[in-house]
Amino acid sequence: MRVFVTGASGHVGSAVIPELLDAGHEVTGLARSEEAAATIERAGASVLRGALDGDLEVLADGARDADAVIHLAFRHDWMQTGDFAGAVASDLAALTAMGEALTGSGKALVSTSPSGMLALGGVSGRPGTEDDVIEGGPRVDAENHVIGLAAHGVRSAVVRLPPTVHSDLDQAGFVPSMIQIARDKGYAAYVGAGENRWCACDTRDAAHLYRLAIESAPAGSRLHAVAEEGIAFREIAETIASMLELPVRGIEPDEAEEYFGFLARFAAMDNPVSSARTRQLLGWEPTRPGLLADLEAGHYFRQPVA
């Protein structure tokens, strides 16, 4: 298949491109800069120049010319600098443009959502499942829009990613951010007792799921790229502290924003998630080390200090 990938030069995209190429697919990646274009070309894919925001015709053409679309791009930089609403709006606009281009084609469109929306949307006291649907809200509207395309001749699916998609490819996700915060503050922290859980998945295992999704996911599928259902946040903080040879301590909820910054709303989030339905549906089985083992491998701590 000819696959159009947005966010192709990013963290997950850097694993998705080789996953697709190794399976015999042709890949075209969206690039909004010369640096991104060079990264995509080095990976062996073709380049389509354009941006997630403002280049809707380019996105539509890229989708129309492909046999399948994987949408990974999101303006995380806007989110981190306070324009979350703008990032959300650009994401929905991009998906609307690509969805319209694919209407009636039967082609695959696989988009991305954060699993944390389940916790923020009220799923609590149990692991979230693929059957859990949130009525609306930031990023939820985009997910629901993509699922709705199944009724318009698009083989649409959404992959929900954990807050920690981890590996040596992860340069700017939540884990590197938490490590940098601990370095800056002189200690690693968790909120309250730190018993809230985060699900997790290795980057390359997640990339494998995206490939399976474009190849065979039924229209209207919600899929969970979750290898570990839930790891106590305290364990994550303790492992970071151990690797940095720093102390670790619990902080009060009202201290979270000062310590974690843009991560504050997620640091106390309880987000256990099951992937049982996804594994059964697509035969996906993650094989790589878990989050704590990945942290203990040391590569996160050899990255340049920001």
Of 139, 148, 164, give the one whose Cα is nearest residue 74.
139
Residues 135 and 235 in one domain: no
Residues 63 and 83 in one domain: yes
259-295 pLDDT per residue, tens = 999 899 899 999 999 999 999 999 999 999 999 999 9
Q: Would you list the DSSP string of 239-273?
A: HHHHHHT--EEEE-GGGHHHHHGGGHHHHT--B-B
* The token pair that represents 200 in the structure block: 């997790």
Residues 35 and 158 in one domain: yes
How many C-alpha atoms does 185 have within 13 Å on its Cβ side?
22
Residues 183 and 156 in one domain: no
Does residue 129 lie in a domain region? Answer: yes
Answering whether pTM is above 0.85, one says yes
Of 156, 66, 50, give the one whose Cα is nearest residue 112.
156
- The mean of the pLDDT values for the chain is 95
Domain that holds residue 26: 2-164+201-227
Q: CA angle 21-176-227, nearest 5°?
A: 55
DSSP state of 153: T
Q: 65 pLDDT exceeds 70? A: yes
| CA torsion angle 91 94 95 99 (round to 10) | 170
Whole-number pLDDT of residue 306: 47
Does residue 282 lie in a domain region? Answer: no
Q: Provide the number of structural domains found in the chain.
A: 2
3-state percent breakdown (helix, strand, coil) of the chain, nearest 5: 45, 20, 35
213-254 pLDDT per residue, tens = 999 999 999 999 999 999 999 999 999 999 999 999 999 999
146-173 pLDDT per residue, tens = 999 999 999 999 999 999 999 999 998 9
Does residue 236 lie in a domain region? Answer: yes
Alpha carbons 235 and 252: distance in angstroms, whole number? 17
Does residue 279 lie in a domain region? Answer: no
Q: Which residues contact 129 (CB under 8 A, 6 or more apart)?
A: 224, 273, 274, 276, 277
